[in-house]
Amino acid sequence: MLRRRPLPNVFDFNQLLTALVRMKQYPVAVSLFRDMCILNIPLNVVSFNIAINCCCHSNRLDYAFSLLGGVFKRGFVPNVVTYTTLIRGLLSQHKPSEARLLFTNLIKLREFEPNIVTYSTMINGLCKTGHTDMALWLFRFMQDSDCKPDTITYNMIIGSLCKHGRVDDALNVHSEMIEKGVLPDVWTYSPIIQVLCNVNRWEEVSMFLKQMMDDMNISPDVRTFTILVYAYSKSGKLDDAEQVIEIMNERGEYPDIVTYSTLMHGYCTQGKMDEALAVLSTIKSKEIILDCYTYNILLDAFCRELKLDIAMDLYRKMASEGLSPDVVTHNILLHGLCQLGKSTEALTFFYKIQDLGHKPNIVTYETLLGGLCKNHYVDKALSLFQAMECNGLIPESDTYNIIIRGCIRDKKYNEACKLVDKMVDCGFSADASTNTLLEHNQLSLQCIRRSMLATPHII
């Protein structure tokens, strides 16, 4: 492009910058923009807007605002995109007060007239960062302006209020929405129904469902139905959850893997394992693609019921169906083996999954260490603890407390005190249970003191 004579116009160079932004190559785009400035290549306000956007994405707000100065120096007039981008950048850096100050000053100085995109950008950013009150203030400001909120704007506010449990505020905004003639959609009702379910306001759930389907002629989608299935399952209303799935099928909104997994979890929670397995059969019969999460629900439930044989059988079926178990799957099974006192089998299983290329995490080690210590295999636990560090996993506070308690119970006091010292050196605390064991067994005063230093609230 630089070799061409005459040079390509500013539109062509902006297309190149835009392409880099789409590829998320923000530093490259900024570097190219800088070269364009040095080489006196034609620029316009769009070029600056692109560069400002890149700086915001790269968390360099200082550069972004210096580029705003460059806009003025070149005689360009910043537009709504320029200011909206800067406001979005401030919000992404959790600076809502600065974003609000910039916005209000721009309005006072009549520097720009915000449009629906500007308002939506700010409201969305405030809601995502948990600044719901400030988002509500801006929403009210918008209502008093010439640019009125639309369905999307209302949905942002209602969704944020529901997320933070402000049920009545969300219902008030919803009522305002209807009164002002702004039509709600399925995304308006879903969070309201969810939060009403969470606080067990079932009559209002029924009322909103009726309003949604009969008065507004809005059909609930899979997400809305899944919210209901989850809420009913969590509250033990499994017949109602099954009825929701029947309604889904009747209305042509077919349940997905999340819906069925939610129902399955409800049955597992109540120990109704036959019904849970029936749900699994339904998933397979409908040729819905299974995932590890679904199987993990069943595996965890069977392990809690101490039915390890069935859990292991399901584990083998996973592999036969082409599913690769994840680290959560293995942690569940290890916990199940340890619960039944099968620590040796758990250790064998642990090495086997490593041979198959599965990498354990901190929970895997803590589960196995707890099982080994509980069943008095402390020497094996100590070896595993050392292997853990050799494999690059850093022990956490819980890891130390598990192994220390195991050493004390097996009267390996020297090892326990060494581990306490090491734990304190790492900045971790001995918990109340560990401290009680240390004192009860009258270990060396130095060991106890070192332990207590990490937990001054116990002294």
Contacts of 126 (CB under 8 A, 6+ apart): 91, 96, 99, 132, 134, 135, 138, 160
What pLDDT, on the 0 to 100 scale, is given for residue 446?
52
Stated pTM of the model: 0.73
Radius of gyration of the chain (CA): 30
Residue 358 identity (one-letter amino acid): H
Q: Please give the Cα distance from 11 to 46 (Å, whole number).
A: 9
- Tell me the C-alpha to C-alpha distance, in Å, between residue 197 and each of 159, 177, 236, 268: 14, 22, 13, 20
Q: Which two tokens stand for residue 28?
A: 């490259």
Judge whether 415 and 444 are in contact, CB under 8 Å: no
Q: Omega of the bond prior to 8 within 30 degrees of 0, cis?
A: no
What three-state secondary structure class fits 40?
A: coil
Contacts of 429 (CB under 8 A, 6+ apart): 397, 423, 454, 455
* Long-range contact pairs involving 367-370 (C-beta distance under 8 Å, separation at least 24): 367/331, 367/334, 367/335, 367/338, 368/334, 368/338, 369/399, 369/402, 369/403, 369/406, 370/338, 370/402
What pLDDT, on the 0 to 100 scale, is given for residue 363?
93
What pLDDT, on the 0 to 100 scale, is given for residue 458?
39
Give tens-digit pLDDT for 254-303: 899 999 999 999 999 999 999 999 999 999 998 888 889 999 999 999 99
For the chain, helix, strand, coil in percent to 5 are 75, 0, 25
Give tens-digit pLDDT for 423-447: 888 888 788 888 777 777 765 445 5
The full set of domains in the chain, from first to last, is 1-78 (1.25.40)
pLDDT band per the 50, 70, 90 thresholds, residue 451: low
What pLDDT, on the 0 to 100 scale, is given for residue 373?
92
- Tell me the C-alpha to C-alpha distance, in Å, between residue 8 and each of 2, 19, 43, 107: 8, 16, 11, 37
What pLDDT, on the 0 to 100 scale, is given for residue 445?
45
pLDDT at residue 365 greater than cutoff 70: yes
- Taking residues 128-133, what's their average pLDDT? 84
What pLDDT, on the 0 to 100 scale, is given for residue 459?
34
Give tens-digit pLDDT for 159-211: 999 999 999 999 999 999 999 999 999 999 999 999 999 998 999 999 999 99
